[in-house]
Amino acid sequence: MTSEVKKFDTLLVANRGEIACRVMRTARAMGLRTVAVYSDADANARHVREADEAVRLGPAAARESYLKVEAVIEAARRTGAGAIHPGYGFLSENGPFVEALEKAGITFVGPPASAIAAMGDKSAAKERMSHAGVPLVPGYHGDDQDDALLKAEADKIGYPVLLKASAGGGGKGMRVVESAAGFQAALDGCRRESQAAFGDQRMLIEKYLTQPRHVEVQVFCDSHGNGVYLFERDCSVQRRHQKVLEEAPAPGMSQELRREMGEAAVRAAREIGYVGAGTVEFLLDADGSFFFMEMNTRLQVEHPVTEMITGQDLVEWQLRVAMGERLPLAQDELTITGHSFEARLYAEDPEQDFLPATGRLDRFALDLLGAGLDPNKVRLDSGVETGDVVSMHYDPMLAKLIVHGDDRDQALATLNRALAALDVQGVVTNRAFLQRLATHPAFKGCELDTRFIEKNEATLFATQEITTEAYAAAALIGLKQLARECESDSPWDRHDGFRLNAPHTIRLALCATGQNLTNAQAPDAEGVVIVEGTRETDADPWHLTIGDTTLTARLQHLEGDAVAVTLDGHRRRLQARLGENGVVVMADPAGETRLFWRRIDAIDHGQHETESTLTAPMHGTVVALLVEPGQKVEKGMPLMVMEAMKMEHTMSAPADGHVASFHFAAGDTVGQGDVLLEFAPEE
């Protein structure tokens, strides 16, 4: 191993978002100048604003900007950056990039290219780990990628199996296959995702353990032969194989098991000549046995929980090791203090299968003082601020909320208070879902495994008790919006004959899930509440009929998002913000309620339009058309595949019938709400 001193005074961060901001924070504290790089979509992004210098890489698409090795190296040359920190994702585990930096005389803040290559190919990595005495999950990791052979290997292992991209990570190109019947479709989907994310279609197959925990160990090695583990993190709460909540230390770990896993992780790192920060991920079974899953040869998204319990700055460790210094501490000098949680805030809609969301952040703030929280116990790592735009081009994670407590219960209480104090408006997020996770009895009771969300779906996604005030507020805001837009180019214009200053009655369908509005006119439509609003003139109050109850209602806008709803003389203050398709209402004790609306007057053609067209639920790219125009299909049959924020989403037939025509081809970019195809329901 080399141990030469490689001092540098300028650091280029080859990434974006929260990790770029987080790395630059430590770099500045160490007296280093910081350089940001950006795409056209990120020209005004927070990481660009905070850097000492910033260099444009190219257009919005990552392959034309953040993944362009030559452009990143040229940016380092132009700014005199002696080192590049890759963050995570993008070029962080790209061996050829590291080799190119070495040729250019630029220090890579990370492991050598040989270590990245050793762990980048998961099949080869399994062999190396076996040699190092690290336990492995039964599976197939061979080079032969013939469909029939892969199917035979899966049959031999026994279902369920886990298909994983050999060159990937982060949940991309990964699917659970429950039976032989679903193998080929899952394989095709995984290959498409893997090709799009990593340029590599090779797959490996593993036995899918039904109740494992995902426990990973933070390792660190320097170029002087020293290696340590900074304990473990439990990352079992996941959706789509991507982590949502992480904590350190892992609950229920004995000192012996902690030592065994830690030492196995260090052996794994030594086996490949590792230098820098890395994470060895294990599946921990209920009987205490553990199996190597993969090694991430970079800093992890969840590294802050390790920092919280150890009191160490892992980015500072990375930079010092990259400069040729020894590890700051030996194994016996590292200790655990308290407990820490990290909650990942995503721009996504948990109520609609976690569809990614885009738009402008009208507000993004964490009021620690108002919530009575200790700033030393709560940390918000984010790459966005109020006014920033969340685009379709990158990962939907907006920020990470990290908390610390003397023990798990105290840390969890702090997490819940901090989530409640986090004010995010303008873009749909998973904040309310995170609160439901963190307050769930099974999570509080440490009943953890990687299928936690699936197993507790009934309670995590239980039908919300929606108050009359919430329905009334949503209806009044919707009615007011209609009145404001009735003579504009609003989409509402093609659905109604609404006239100002004349007696009128308007019927709205309201529900917590926008998809249910498809059949809103049906009397038994699931979760849909019909609100009928009537008034003589604009100056009069509305008479709202909600179910069997008729109320006299007024709406008054107060400061900010505050509104006052008066129902039969009873005035109540709420927080309500308007979205593209509905309204979010905040009121104690019900908490957050999100209601979608659609007008269903007698002359409304919305139902017909919904049945005859299929619209894009988010901005994205068409990946594949799965049927031919004119082909007969059944309700629920996959019609086309879209990709957004690095994940695939399948559009299905809304009813029996056939596709009359597609409006887009594979490779086309579509916007949220664009009509994707014309659908002819069966007569």
Closest to 510 in 3D by CA, of 570, 581, 439, 576: 581
Strands (E), 142-256: 161-165, 174-177, 203-207, 213-221, 227-239, 242-248
Given 16, 258, 298, 431, which residue is catalytic? 298
Strands 107-108 and 83-85: parallel
Residue 324 structure tokens: 């040729």
User: Within the chain, how many helices (H) and strands (E) appear?
Assistant: 18, 39
CA dihedral of residues 172, 177, 178, 179 (deg, nearest 10): 170
What whole-number distance in Å separates Cα of residue 513 and Cα of residue 428? 13
The token duo for 77 is 């040359």
**Three-state DSSP state, 475:** helix
DSSP state of 570: E
How far apart are the C-alpha atoms of 538 and 5, rounded to whole Å?
76
- Rounded to whole angstroms, the Cα distance separating 272 from 278 reads 12
Give dist(CA 650, CA 187) in Å, integer: 15
CA distance 379 to 368: 10
* Amino acid residing at 569: G
3-state class (DSSP) for residue 338: coil
Three-class secondary structure assignment of 496-532: CCCCCCCCEEEEEEEECCHHHHHHCCCCCCCCCEEEE
Told to judge if 298 belongs to the known catalytic residues of this protein, a careful annotator would answer: yes
What crossing angle do the helices spanning 255-271 and 122-131 adopt, rounded to 10°? 110
Q: How far apart are CA 599 and CA 590, in angstroms?
A: 25
Contact 307, 314 (CB under 8 A): yes
Phi, psi of 283 (to 5 degrees): -100, 125
Q: DSSP letters of 64-122?
A: GTTT-HHHHHHHHHHHT-SEEE--SSTTTT-HHHHHHHHHHT-EESS--HHHHHHHHSH
Structure tokens at 504: 């009128």
Q: Are strands 657-662 and 675-681 parallel, antiparallel or unpaired?
A: antiparallel
Quickly list H helices, 422-467.
Answer: 431-438, 441-444, 452-455, 457-460
Distance CA 108, CA 457 (A): 43
DSSP 113: H
Query: What CA–CA distances, in Å, run from 178 to 17, 159, 166, 209, 648?
Result: 36, 6, 20, 12, 19
Which residues belong to the active site? 298
